[in-house]
Structure 1
Amino acid sequence: MAQVPQVPELTPQFCFNTLALRDFLRISRGSIDDSITQNLNALQAPSTTGFDPSSTGVRNPRGPNPRRIDSIPCQNFKAKVLFPSWQVRSDVLNYCASVATSPDPDDPELIAREVEGQRYKKRIVDERLDPYSARFFPKEPRTEMLASVIRQEIGVESIIRASSWGLVVERCGGESGDWEKALGAWKSGLGFSKAGRSLNAS
């Protein structure tokens, strides 16, 4: 069975290092969601009875879904691998979203932007000579850049989860087609993580 990727240490520095943030998300998605078909195939137990030569003499119709997986392995996979990996990614994205909307006094480029703004105010602008001279594009604060990355990744996450859940429903059966409801039901049964963080914030 696939393993849930290790939770990174959640710090503002981790979030602002968007390369590390995206690497974590890529590795997590790659090991669980991008390989969901292989993960589900691994849940199917091989035949325990062996091959019966007499079975070739009778033509038996196939069942409605020969690829259907037993409910117990499916439940274990969802409860121990799929939902925990989704929740870890939600925790990371939620944390970094809060960092992106918090004051950032440690921004290393804060002073440079302030100096740039002061220089702009002191400039002499003559749009008759240069119609573009009044344009000013200050460098975007790193919190805004992080917020943009988080919005993109949340959108990607929603698409990936819908795709993975569709395959889980197809192979395991007996489930709602809405991954958000299924994840919410899992979280409500779990309550709190071992670390004491509430898992009820998606």
Structure 2
Amino acid sequence: MSRASSTEAPALTPQFCFDERLLRDFLQLSRSTIDDSITQNLNALIRPSRRGFDPSSTAVRQTDSAGHKAIDPASCQGFKDNVLFPSWQTRSNVLNYCAGVATSPDPDDPDLILRETESARDRERVVNERLDPYSARFFPREARTESLANLVRNQRTVEEIIRARTWGLVAETCSGSSGTWEEALNSWRRTRQQ
């Protein structure tokens, strides 16, 4: 289980958020380290040598895999408290920060003057759709805050899907992991604040 690379938050600056490739790469790396490999992470918690070898186990064909995947509840809780939830919280913090940047005014927008010029030129243009039906088309440039807001919105949707899938596997494998991932994460947040 790699903990450090997936839960360490990058330096949160507007430049980090506006570098959409860097933001996307951070989120993908964090997800691949914890969520995409959740089965491997949970399997790493299994310690079959604790019970020792039972020679009678070879007398009957074992078709029930649930008996073999008994994970120590303390190990499961430790994984959730020290690896899974901190990773989710870090990604939430990054997305919340970048959402705030996306809704704030952007005085340093490098394309602002270009967009204003295009907008003024578009207002002056005479459109005769009878002569050229395509002359009315105008695709204004999207401000980088709008682009960032779209990216954050999409990444939050991805987070919802991935966390639901991950939590389903955790709840299936770890005893005492009931409820939704939102409830579990909020409970973990409350215990950290105390």
TM exceeding 0.5: yes
Distance 1:2 1:116, change over 3 A: same
Partner of 2:49, secondary structure, is coil
Across the aligned residues of Structure 1 and Structure 2, the Cα RMSD in angstroms comes to 2.2
Structure 2 distance, partners of 1:189, 1:183, is 10
Change in Cα spacing, 1:107 to 1:33, as seen in structure 2 (3 Å) is same
Aligned residue in 2 for 1:122: 124
- Distance in 1 (alpha carbons) for counterparts of 2:59 and 2:130: 92
Letter of the 1:13 partner, please give it.
Answer: Q
Q: Any gaps of 5 or more consecutive residues in structure 1?
A: 193-202
SS in structure 2 of the partner of residue 135 of structure 1 = coil
Deviation at 1:191?
1.5
Which residue of the other structure, out of 184, 187, 190, is the alignment partner of 1:182?
184
Map 1:12-23 onto structure 2 (within 5 A).
12-23=14-25
Aligned with residue 137 of structure 2, among 128, 135, 143: 135
Instruction: Report deviation, 1:151.
Output: 1.0
| Runs of 4+ residues over 4 Å off in structure 1 | 56-64
- How far apart are residue 187 of structure 1 and its match? 0.2
Taking a change above 3 Å as real, the CA distance of residues 140 and 63 of structure 1, as seen in their structure-2 partners, is closer
The DSSP-based 3-state class of the residue aligned with 1:66 is: helix
Q: How does 1:1-202 map to 2 (within 5 A)?
A: 1-4=1-4, 5=6, 6-48=8-50, 50-53=52-55, 55=56, 65-191=67-193
Secondary structure of 1:104's aligned partner: coil
1:65 offset after TM fit, Å?
A: 3.6
Which residue identity lines up with residue 86 of structure 1 in the other structure?
A: W
The structure whose RCO (Cα within 8 Å, separation 6+) is larger is 2
| Other-structure match for 1:196 | none
Q: Gaps spanning 5+ residues in structure 2: where?
A: none
Could you tell me which amino acid in structure 2 is paired with residue 17 of structure 1? D
Q: Normalization by structure 1: what TM-score?
A: 0.86
Measured after TM superposition, the shift of residue 105 of structure 1 is 1.1
Identity across matched positions, percent = 59
Offset of residue 63 of structure 1: 9.0
The alpha carbon displacement at 1:161 in A equals 0.5
Instruction: Please report how far the alpha carbon of residue 64 of structure 1 lies from its aligned counterpart in structure 2 after TM superposition.
Output: 5.8
**TM-score (normalised: structure 2):** 0.90
Alignment CA distance shift 1:176-1:115 (3 Å) = same
Q: Is the Cα contact below 8 Å between 1:2 and 1:39 reproduced in 2?
A: no
